[in-house]
């Protein structure tokens, strides 16, 4: 049996779908369906059971660990614009810590979602404390749990892996609204208005030239499932492509798919000044060092595959 928290969310639902393709249907999905539209993400998946997040937490101490092969903890509040620190810490830190303790005590492999937001405005994206300086409470909630794992490493006798996701995009993210990927928004814009819009330059970057490490969700799921097959791997790892590409590259890929449209630049939002990562590029040497050898899709490859899915 495999438990996927956040299983009706973006990455979690893609993971459940791929587990089905691998022949696994003994899956328990844990999520919060207060936003009922998220059901669409798992409507085409086969699972064994579903638990509300709060119910799952309340029953965690009494959960029978026998037969649990793995817990993939993808559930979190991922809104970088959320400033309710109490909610963020309860949802992202305390919840994750409780799951961690359960898995470590029962020696159940545990893979959890960390984030590139732990690096903040730094331009060195290597998994070490000197590079970590989050710009928002979301990034801090993720960093604090990474620190908790580091402090308890000597007590861990089973697989525990944190994956610092960079800019993930792909199918099943439509429920995320403003936090959905650039590719998602640009695709909608061109269908609605015949134009795609990007922010003007900031922090020394030209119009649309801010750079991110955009990683396709299928590649993210592949890494998660590779870890299930390699239980000896432990630690905190960046999960990106290892190469930064510009927002202009995303826009060009969307325009190329549609074969029409214009690119327009709009003023950079004042509320994001000083709280915006203008450059991210995962150093994936640690992930490569533990044996992960598969390639990652470029923006051009991933965007085409993505738009093939959602537009057809």
Burial code of 156-195, b = ≥16 C-beta within 10 A, e = fewer? Answer: eeebbbbbbbbbbbbbbbebbeeebbbbbbbbebbeeeee
274: how many CB neighbours lie within 10 A of its CB? 10
Rounded Cα distance between 81 and 265, Å, is 22
Residues labelled as active-site residues:
138, 176
Given this model, what pLDDT does residue 143 score? 97
Query: Comparing C-alpha atoms, which of 171, 198, 289, 293 is closest to residue 252?
Result: 198
Q: What is the mean pLDDT of each run of 10 residues along the chain (312 residues)?
A: 97 98 97 93 97 93 90 85 82 94 96 95 92 93 97 94 98 93 97 95 91 97 98 98 98 98 94 79 98 98 98 90
* Coil, helix or strand at residue 43: coil
In this prediction, residue 296 carries a pLDDT of 98
Q: What gap in Å lies between CA 19 and CA 47, rounded to an integer?
A: 10
CA 187-7-294 angle, 5° bins: 70
pLDDT of residue 204: 86
Contact 100, 72 (CB under 8 A): no
Q: Which domains does the chain have, with CATH numbers?
A: 2-169+215-242+281-297 (3.40.50.720), 174-211+244-278+302-310 (3.90.25.10)
Q: How far apart are CA 262 and CA 264, in angstroms?
A: 7
Contact 297/218 with Cβ under 8 angstroms?
yes
- Nearest partner of 240 among 310, 298, 305, judged by Cα: 298
Report whether 182 contacts 217 (CB < 8 A).
no
Q: Give pTM, 2 decimals.
A: 0.95
pLDDT recorded at residue 91 = 87
Segments in the chain forming alpha helices (H):
10-21, 53-59, 85-88, 95-106, 137-151, 182-193, 217-229, 247-258, 285-289, 299-310
């Amino acid at each position: 049996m495999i438990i996927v928290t956040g299983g009706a969310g973006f990455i979690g639902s893609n993971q459940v779908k791929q587990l089905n393709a691998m022949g696994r249907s003994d899956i328990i999905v844990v999520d919060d369906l207060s936003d009922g539209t998220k059901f669409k993400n798992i409507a085409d998946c086969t699972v064994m059971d579903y638990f509300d997040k709060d119910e799952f937490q309340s029953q965690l101490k009494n959960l029978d660990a026998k037969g649990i092969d793995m817990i993939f903890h993808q559930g979190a509040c991922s809104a970088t614009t959320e400033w309710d620190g109490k909610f963020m810490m309860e949802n992202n830190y305390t919840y994750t810590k409780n799951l961690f303790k359960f898995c470590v005590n029962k020696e159940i492999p545990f893979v959890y979602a960390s984030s590139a937001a732990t690096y903040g405005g730094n331009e060195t994206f290597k998994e070490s404390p000197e590079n970590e300086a989050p710009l928002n409470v979301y990034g801090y909630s993720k960093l604090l749990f990474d620190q908790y794992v580091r402090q308890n490493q000597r007590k861990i006798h089973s697989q525990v892996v944190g994956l610092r996701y960079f800019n993930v995009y792909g199918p099943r993210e439509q429920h995320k609204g403003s936090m959905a990927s650039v590719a998602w928004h640009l695709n909608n814009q061109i269908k609605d208005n015949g134009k795609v819009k990007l922010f003007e330059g900031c922090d020394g970057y030209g119009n649309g030239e801010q750079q991110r490490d955009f990683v396709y969700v299928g590649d993210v799921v592949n890494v998660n499932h590779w870890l299930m097959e390699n239980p000896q791997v432990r630690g905190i790892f960046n999960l990106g492509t290892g190469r930064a590409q510009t927002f202009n590259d995303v826009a060009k890929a969307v325009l190329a798919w549609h074969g029409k449209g214009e690119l327009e630049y709009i003023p950079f939002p004042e509320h994001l000044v000083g709280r915006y990562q203008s450059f991210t590029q995962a150093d994936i040497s640690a992930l490569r060092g533990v044996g992960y050898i598969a390639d990652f899709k470029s923006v051009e490859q991933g965007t085409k595959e993505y738009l093939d899915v959602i537009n057809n």
